[in-house]
Amino acid sequence: MRKLAIIALCFVVCQYGYTQTPAEKQKIESLIKQMTLEEKVGQMTQVTLAVVAKGGWGNRDGSLDPVALKKAIDDYKVGSILNTTAHALSVDTWRTDMTEIQDETKNTRLKIPVIYGLDGIHGQTYTLNSTLFPQNIAMAATRNPELAAKAAKVTASELRASGVRWNFAPVLDCGRQPLWSRFPETYGEDVYIGKTMGAAGIKAYEEDGLKNITAVASCMKHYLGYSASRTGKDRTPIYMPEIEMREYYLPQFREAVKAGSSSIMINSGEINGEPVHASKYLLTDVLRTELGFQGLIVTDWEDIKRLYDRHNVASTPRAAVAMAVNAGIDMSMVPGDFSFYDLLIEAVKNKEVPMSRIDDAVRRILALKMKVGLFDNPYPEEAAKANFGKAEYQTLALDAAHEAMTLLKNSNNTLPLAKNMKVLVAGPAAQSITALNGCWSYTWQGNQEEWYPKDSKTILQAITDKLGAANVVTTTKKGFDDLANFDATQLKKAAAGVDAIILCLGENAYAESPGNTPELALPDEQLKLAEAAVLSGKPVILVLTEGRPRFITSIEPSMKGILMAYWSGKKTAEAIADVLFGDYNPDGILPFSYPRSMGEMVLYDRKPTEDVREVFNDNINTGYWPLFPFGWGLSYTTFEYSDIQLSSSTLKGDADLTLTVTIKNTGSKDGKHTVELYSHDLYASITPNMQRLRAFKKVSLKAGESQTVSFTINKNDLAFVNAQLKTVTEAGDFEVMIGNKKAKFTYEQ
């Protein structure tokens, strides 16, 4: 037992990038010694704001109920609170709430501060007028981790200004199932992008040191495999062999642990029949022992209760609590009552959970509170307030939205359009703000426009600003779902007097289960609108604001241009208008394979047999047949690559290999471009992927300018998970691809 305690202590003391001072260490140990079982279990309990708000679940203004607050903090000794009640609150309301909460902790015996957590997944969701950035899927299209880091820093600053020091982000789930309603929260289908972007975000949240007023503790989520549900429906079963889990879903978390993330949230789902919240293997053996994660493990919403009432692996609520805590859970997002507190106390008294496990959990919770400076000063810092809503954040939001824009099609260089053209801006997304921002935008679902900043623009407004009201007509009414927005007859009529139609289709905001969809095709009424637009005879430019790739295969051939705008945050409309009218040269590239149809859902890192289409005796390599491939994105200029130069034709042991190309902007416009390096292991003991993205660099080139780009790789960049579940690089021949160029080298062990 003593040995265990020493190990646990060392875990806490030696957290990456942060070392507890001897005084901090002593304070934690002395608290643990003094704490009663009730006080310890209270620390492990997290409730939602509604539990302590005036009017409970009916609360709309975030105001606290002193009696409920006293009950939570004094009677139940809760250690953490999360969430908002109905929608975003002002900075001042948050600061008042935080002050009242921490004031209440001063009345408790040990005066341990509460840690508050919120979901700032693409900007600070729940503070009014915060800056919203592109969703992860759109951020991934920028292939610009520095930009993602800058956005994360703003998110951290705006959370901290609101008095909150814990952010439930980044989402590290790998988006390999486009039906999944949380696909927009992912960095897409590739492991390397997820690792790179995720680590960039975590460092930005935490690198200043969590006592700093521009930092927040990150919470990587949702460990593990959450995105891989079989049906695509949220929180439904995942069946996954461990080799797949280790190849595609675990590396992002491994990297995030190395990047120093302070906490982790668990997947609400089940893998191979075992709910992850009950998996000692995943929570303790893999996460703690193998990955060396030393931070706090928190459940997702109600997930301990669900072990009993949904997953049915625990036959009583108390058995569920014991199962999860024994598996490795440190804190329960209960979050609507105090049942966890009562049940865990009973379970400990009945010897169903050892005290050592409770102490271990509490030690990690107190360590996080210490790390974010709550023991020094639990109140919202005065100076942090000035970091909310700075003017420069708007510029950053526009930069990020610009770089996300992905031009999928541009027949005969129809785009950019001339600014003296007369255009019809139509489709349900033309006058919607919510369809440009998506989930976790001022409300959980993001679909209530009244909470968005008043200066948010619709696509119609942004285009009108550019062309002048005289040159823009619309048939769309405010709000995505207005019936007029799908009226094909009106659209055709309005098209008569214009030079081009900008058709804004896609998805209105949704989050989690409400975003489950029975099919990926765009709804019929949107497809019909597109057909009507084409029948008008005017060139149609399709703008897609959507969180996941909805099938557009039937209308794609008749579109003159297609711009994938994703849900790119506050400045989505401005970025769309800038691209359509040539004020920004697009450089986003797809972080997923845009699928053609349900039967063509092959991913870019396909296996050899997926690459082949067997046609009698003639096998052809068209098995990977998306509508637009992974990495696709057009520019208004052209780029050419030189041949790839290798520093050697053999890579030996642990040595490095450098690959160099020169890229030239051969067109007439300045532009940015992402140089991507892919590898292909020609023969391996496990069927090799046809392509794996191993590195990328984004360059900015003036018209006519050239730049030499180098990548240095080693054997780890070429590794895969073998049949023994080990990550290995086997000797043999490799192909590397950059743009349309290829080169070969041999790896020798």
Catalytic residues: 300
Task: Quote the tokens at residue 678.
Answer: 């892919």
> Nearer Cβ to ligand BGC, position 303 or 359?
303
The least CB distance from residue 278 to ligand BGC, in Å, is 17
The residues in 710-739 that bind ligand BGC, with binding defined as CB under 6 A, are none
How far is 368 from 115, CA to CA, in rounded Å? 9
Distance of CA 103 to CAs 28, 70, 366, 697, Å?
Answer: 21, 10, 18, 49
- What are the backbone angles phi and psi of residue 266, rounded to the nearest 5°? -100, 150
Structure-token match 């002002």, residue found: 90
> Nearer Cβ to ligand BGC, position 11 or 301?
301
Q: In the 8-state DSSP scheme, what is residue 26?
A: H
> Nearer Cβ to ligand BGC, position 290 or 309?
309
The least CB distance from residue 502 to ligand BGC, in Å, is 34
Residues 6+ apart with CB under 8 A from 716: 729
Q: At what angle do helices 572-580 and 459-467 cross, to 10 degrees?
A: 40
How far is 34 from 307, CA to CA, in rounded Å? 32
> Nearer Cβ to ligand BGC, position 141 or 511?
511
The residues in 226-265 that bind ligand BGC, with binding defined as CB under 6 A, are 265
Candidate residues 24, 39, 97, 119; the one interacting with ligand BGC per rule CB under 6 A: 119
- What are the backbone angles phi and psi of residue 506, rounded to the nearest 5°? 145, -140
Task: Quote the tokens at residue 513.
Answer: 């289960």
How far is 452 from 127, CA to CA, in rounded Å? 10
Contacts 24+ apart (CB under 8 A), 536-539: 536/491, 536/492, 536/495, 536/496, 536/501, 537/495, 538/424, 538/495, 538/498, 538/499, 538/500, 538/501, 539/414, 539/499, 539/500, 539/501
Q: In the 8-state DSSP scheme, what is residue 415?
A: P
- What are the backbone angles phi and psi of residue 739, rounded to the nearest 5°? 55, -130
Fill in the per-residue mask, 655 to 684: x = in contact with ligand BGC (CB under 6 A), - = not in contact.
------------------------------
Of 257, 258, 240, 261, the residue nearest 249 (C-alpha): 240
Candidate residues 221, 277, 550, 672; the one interacting with ligand BGC per rule CB under 6 A: 221
Candidate residues 300, 546, 574, 676; the one interacting with ligand BGC per rule CB under 6 A: 300
The least CB distance from residue 412 to ligand BGC, in Å, is 44
Q: Does 566 bind ligand BGC (CB under 6 A)?
A: no
Q: What is the CA radius of gyration of the chain?
A: 26
**Which residue minimizes CB distance to ligand BGC?**
168
Q: Between the CA atoms of 286, 116, 89 and 83, what dihedral angle is there, to the nearest 10 degrees?
A: 50
The least CB distance from residue 410 to ligand BGC, in Å, is 37
- Which strand (E) or helix (H) includes residue 1? none
The residues in 258-297 that bind ligand BGC, with binding defined as CB under 6 A, are 265
- Which strand (E) or helix (H) includes residue 464? helix 459-467
Of 465, 499, 701, 663, the residue nearest 583 (C-alpha): 465
Candidate residues 133, 301, 584, 720; the one interacting with ligand BGC per rule CB under 6 A: 301
418 three-class SS: coil
> Nearer Cβ to ligand BGC, position 235 or 246?
235
> Nearer Cβ to ligand BGC, position 270 or 487?
270
The least CB distance from residue 167 to ligand BGC, in Å, is 9
488 three-class SS: helix
> Nearer Cβ to ligand BGC, position 104 or 300?
300
Q: Would you call the peptide bond into 626 cis, given omega within 30 degrees of 0 as the criterion? A: no
- What are the backbone angles phi and psi of residue 697, rounded to the nearest 5°? -140, 135
Size of the site for ligand BGC (CB under 6 A): 9
The least CB distance from residue 248 to ligand BGC, in Å, is 20
> Nearer Cβ to ligand BGC, position 49 or 564?
49
The least CB distance from residue 60 to ligand BGC, in Å, is 18
> Nearer Cβ to ligand BGC, position 226 or 584?
226
Candidate residues 133, 166, 168, 594; the one interacting with ligand BGC per rule CB under 6 A: 168
Structure-token match 């969180």, residue found: 547
**603 with 176: CB under 8 angstroms?**
yes
The least CB distance from residue 117 to ligand BGC, in Å, is 8
Fill in the per-residue mask, 62 to 91: x = in contact with ligand BGC (CB under 6 A), - = not in contact.
--------------------xx--------
> Nearer Cβ to ligand BGC, position 340 or 486?
340
The least CB distance from residue 218 to ligand BGC, in Å, is 12
Residue 641 bridge partners (DSSP): 663
Residues 6+ apart with CB under 8 A from 70: 104, 107
The least CB distance from residue 727 to ligand BGC, in Å, is 28
Of 175, 91, 196, 137, the residue nearest 564 (C-alpha): 137
> Nearer Cβ to ligand BGC, position 265 or 573?
265
The least CB distance from residue 434 to ligand BGC, in Å, is 19
The site for ligand BGC (CB under 6 A) is made up of: 82-83, 119, 168, 221, 265, 300-301, 512
